[in-house]
Structure 1
Amino acid sequence: MEGNASLINAMADLGLKQAELAEAVNDFLRAHGYDGTVSDRTVRNWLTGKTRWPHPNQRAALGAVFGCTAEELGFSPPSARRVSTEPEPPVRRRNFFSATTGTAIAVVAPVDSRPARVGTSDVIRLRSGLDALMALDDNKGGHESLERSALAGADDALDKIQQASSQRIRQRLFSVAADYTATAAWSALDARQLDRTQRHLDRALYLSGMAKDPVVELRVWNSYAMLAYQRGQHVQAVDAGYAAQATAITRRDPLFASLAHARTAIGHATFGNRTAALRSLGYAEEALGKVSPDEPRPSWVAFYGGAELTAMTAIVRDRIGDSTQAEAASHRALASIPKQFRRNRALATTRLALAQLHQRDIDHACATASTVFDLMNGDPLPGRMRTLLGDFHRDLITLAPDAGVAQEWGDRFRVEWSRS
């Protein structure tokens, strides 16, 4: 039988595995007075198309998890029952639950006054908010409102821990809180609010430990490495890269291993260790070649792949003095970084301008740097980008203080800086 592509895609969007979907459906069923009997095999039958029309209570549970109808999830009723394509009115659904459970109040409110228990479907809904924040970050970069939203998401997850239906759900809530806090840290880091970044990372590391979540732990160490670089603490940047490599997820998923090695390579290059930097880059490339693209992963790591590794290679090459190779790598990166990662494209463009400048190609470097402002399309420049453009301006003045094109670029830089 053909597989249920709609359900497969819906699960991929939420990063759900078969066992997790079964658990979410069972949570809903138990909360509404049913036995939670959905298993991995049940979900597998849905995915393969062997079960084309789940039981009514299972359809309601699937609707609660995914926020859409069974038909939208790729299921279809037997032809004899296909009377209308109109969605079932809410009153009819309430009547169904009333007839099944005996009283309508069993559906609309708990029988007793105890707080509703928090289960897998609640965790999924909390986690889905991270995707919207990461899409905003990809486009505009880090800013204060994003940071506040992320901290509010973390608080929401932590507030629900006392109502968790199991220890496993408690750990998942800690994981969600850690991810939101790491998102706040990243936003502060991109805005170059370094003290706030440190506080958020310290808390995110604690929460990831409570969650026993190695993915968030790696994310935190990756940000620690970037924070150390921005503070000029190059030894600590390398140490943070090694800590990221040591997390358990790098042994299970080569994508995360590649990211950790690439971050360590930048640390080595900044510290001036050419051999170690190129060795770490080699490890990053080797690990990336083993990645399975179909493995579900959190939205925060969607930026990383061949294009981003090439952009990081450009950084390493420029810092160890290989400006020609840095320029070539920057061109390759810009040819493949997806357009939705606007902030990353702007950063890669600035790196290209720096590589051209370090080859004394002043005219091209200034023209390239000017396109960064066009890429950001009038939005305020994130602090990290402002600092990088400041590095370009400083090097430009050092290398060509009297060049007319350098003075023209400096005038535009000051205008754009004042707008941000």
Structure 2
Amino acid sequence: MVANVALRLRMAERRMTKAELAREVNAEVKILTGKLGTVSERTVHNWLAGQTRWPPAKSRLALTAVFDCTPEELGFVPTRRTRSTTEEDVMRRDFIAAAGGTAVAALTSTVAAGPRRIGITDIRQLQTRFAEVVASDHRHGGRLSIESRAGQLADEALALQESGIATQRIRAQLYATAASFMSSAMWAAIDGRRFEAALQHHQKAASLAAMSGDSSIQFRIWSHAGSLYRHLGRPGDALAANDVARNLPIARRDPLFASLGHARHAAIHGLTGDTNAVRRSLGHAQEALDRADPSASRPLWITAFYDQAELDSLALAGYLSAGSWEEAEAHAHRSTALRRGAMQRASAITTARLAHAQLRQGALEPAVATAMSVPAEVSTHPRVTGMLTAFGIKLTDRAAGSGPARTWAEYSHETWRIST
């Protein structure tokens, strides 16, 4: 039995634990089959120890999506029956279609050998790949595979800079697109609680955006930076970063950008406990959103997620952090009612926060019922897991031994395996 050194090195490069790899693989199997995978930490241990030399087809395809390389490159050794079965070929086709795995291959094919003229067709191909990354993030969010894919596509965009001749306008758009990919890698890292990686992505994204001269992508990157520092519990840095975004020309020119800047400012103010500042920023956000022209041409990344539901979600975050439980609950209900159906992760985060707001008001049974309504398949998302874990701890602190506490302890153990 020979240890799988290649897989261990891949995991080490991404600072990935056995539990994290198991969650990633199970989530990718869910995309492939419609059912969450059954890979456990013990399964990963067997892979690393060499006890399992060639995992089942579903696991191999999922591992390929997570690491963007073949099972053989991950150190696995095919059995004597190396040819794929018809079932595996069908799964691979369906999986690639679901996960957008053709992105890198399609983009790479545009880089011809030798100098050539880079034009608007290349930019449009990149923008199509960016749309796929945004859609994948909205469906799944926080995954290492999204972060890795976005970073790789940024490198592909930069490779075009060196592969041929282009006008200054096209080169600026190439930098803007590369910055867009890096901002998605940054957000995936933030969403997955990989904050050190997010900080590194921010440095590269900000540099690329500055070279592009595109204030809309600069806004996204600095607005993300504000969210990053908010999650790190550094409100001073968060406010400063978000101010960079709010002072960009795009925020002065387009009320939708201004509204998002104010709404994220409100969420940051919640960390300081300044309810008046939260309310004031939300008032500015609502006023700007009401003025925004819904028919105006805007980048995909902002139109795909920012609307009244997201404003209310940020209001919920701000009031919850500030300790205004009733106002937090009101915005949670409004956000849930308006949320677009495809935003499952965002809906789960809102629901988890609603459970916290209800618990803080002493409504134990409604709070537990709300927490239990989070779909099990979404609860593996790092942010949702953290919120539900914190909910269980607070519930135990407040009402240990009560009926609702026992109900939650049993349910969480059986469904999410959360230690409360």
> Do they superpose with TM above 0.5?
yes
Correspondence 1:7-18 to 2 at 5 A: none
Structure 1 residues 340 and 123: CA distance shift in structure 2, 3 A: same
Report the number of matched residues.
305
Structure 1 residues 300 and 412: CA distance shift in structure 2, 3 A: farther
Q: For 2:130 and 2:359, locate their aligned partners in 1 and report how far apart those are by CA, in whole Å.
A: 38
2:124 alignment partner AA: I
1:308 alignment partner AA: E
Correspondence 1:122-201 to 2 at 5 A: 122-162=122-162, 163-201=164-202
Q: CA deviation at 1:215?
A: 1.1
Q: For 2:238 and 2:390, locate their aligned partners in 1 and report how far apart those are by CA, in whole Å.
A: 19
Checking the alignment, whether the CA contact within 8 Å between 2:348 and 2:378 is kept in structure 1 is no
Q: For 2:307 and 2:382, locate their aligned partners in 1 and report how far apart those are by CA, in whole Å.
A: 24
Q: For 2:415 and 2:239, locate their aligned partners in 1 and report how far apart those are by CA, in whole Å.
A: 34
Q: For 1:249 and 1:285, locate their aligned partners in 2 and report how far apart those are by CA, in whole Å.
A: 18
- Tell me which residue corresponds to 1:267: 268
Q: CA deviation at 1:160?
A: 0.5
2:383 alignment partner AA: R
Q: For 1:300 and 1:419, locate their aligned partners in 2 and report how far apart those are by CA, in whole Å.
A: 33
Correspondence 1:240-319 to 2 at 5 A: 240-301=241-302, 302-319=304-321
- Tell me which residue corresponds to 1:397: 396
Q: For 1:242 and 1:415, locate their aligned partners in 2 and report how far apart those are by CA, in whole Å.
A: 44
Are 2:405 and 1:385 aligned?
Answer: no
Q: For 2:380 and 2:245, locate their aligned partners in 1 and report how far apart those are by CA, in whole Å.
A: 29
1:249 alignment partner AA: I
SS class of match (1:294): coil
Q: CA deviation at 1:415?
A: 4.4
Contiguous gaps of at least 5 residues in structure 1: 1-112
Aligned to 1:320, which of 319, 322, 334? 322
Q: CA deviation at 1:390?
A: 2.4
Q: CA deviation at 1:379?
A: 5.0
Q: CA deviation at 1:296?
A: 2.2
1:130 alignment partner AA: F
Q: For 2:181 and 2:308, locate their aligned partners in 1 and report how far apart those are by CA, in whole Å.
A: 26
- Tell me which residue corresponds to 1:345: 347
Q: Deviations over 1:102-128 (max 9, x none)?
A: xxxxxxxxxxx9522111111011111
Are 2:230 and 1:208 aligned?
Answer: no
> C-alpha root-mean-square deviation of aligned residues, in Å?
1.8
- Larger CA Rg, structure 1 vs 2: 1
Q: CA deviation at 1:253?
A: 1.0
1:300 alignment partner AA: W
Q: Deviations over 1:139-160 (max 9, x none)?
A: 1111011111101110110000
Structure 1 residues 230 and 415: CA distance shift in structure 2, 3 A: farther
Q: For 1:354 and 1:164, locate their aligned partners in 2 and report how far apart those are by CA, in whole Å.
A: 56
Q: CA deviation at 1:299?
A: 2.4
2:298 alignment partner AA: R
Percent identity reads 35
Q: For 2:331 and 2:165, locate their aligned partners in 1 and report how far apart those are by CA, in whole Å.
A: 48
Structure 1 residues 123 and 379: CA distance shift in structure 2, 3 A: same
Q: CA deviation at 1:419?
A: 9.0
SS class of match (1:292): coil
Structure 1 residues 393 and 156: CA distance shift in structure 2, 3 A: same
Checking the alignment, whether the CA contact within 8 Å between 1:373 and 1:416 is kept in structure 2 is no
Q: For 1:238 and 1:394, locate their aligned partners in 2 and report how far apart those are by CA, in whole Å.
A: 29
Q: Deviations over 1:299-344 (max 9, x none)?
A: 2222111111011112222222321221121111101100001111
Q: Deviations over 1:37-59 (max 9, x none)?
A: xxxxxxxxxxxxxxxxxxxxxxx
1:324 alignment partner AA: E
Checking the alignment, whether the CA contact within 8 Å between 2:115 and 2:165 is kept in structure 1 is no
Q: For 2:261 and 2:178, locate their aligned partners in 1 and report how far apart those are by CA, in whole Å.
A: 22
Contiguous gaps of at least 5 residues in structure 2: 1-112
Q: Deviations over 1:205-231 (max 9, x none)?
A: 110001011111111112111211221
Q: For 1:321 and 1:142, locate their aligned partners in 2 and report how far apart those are by CA, in whole Å.
A: 27
Structure 1-normalised TM-score? 0.70
Are 2:239 and 1:238 aligned?
Answer: yes
Checking the alignment, whether the CA contact within 8 Å between 2:233 and 2:271 is kept in structure 1 is no
Stretch deviating more after TM superposition (410-419 or 399-408): 410-419
Checking the alignment, whether the CA contact within 8 Å between 1:189 and 1:384 is kept in structure 2 is no
Stretch deviating more after TM superposition (408-417 or 296-305): 408-417
Q: Deviations over 1:1-59 (max 9, x none)?
A: xxxxxxxxxxxxxxxxxxxxxxxxxxxxxxxxxxxxxxxxxxxxxxxxxxxxxxxxxxx
2:400 alignment partner AA: P
Structure 2-normalised TM-score? 0.70
Structure 1 residues 417 and 196: CA distance shift in structure 2, 3 A: farther
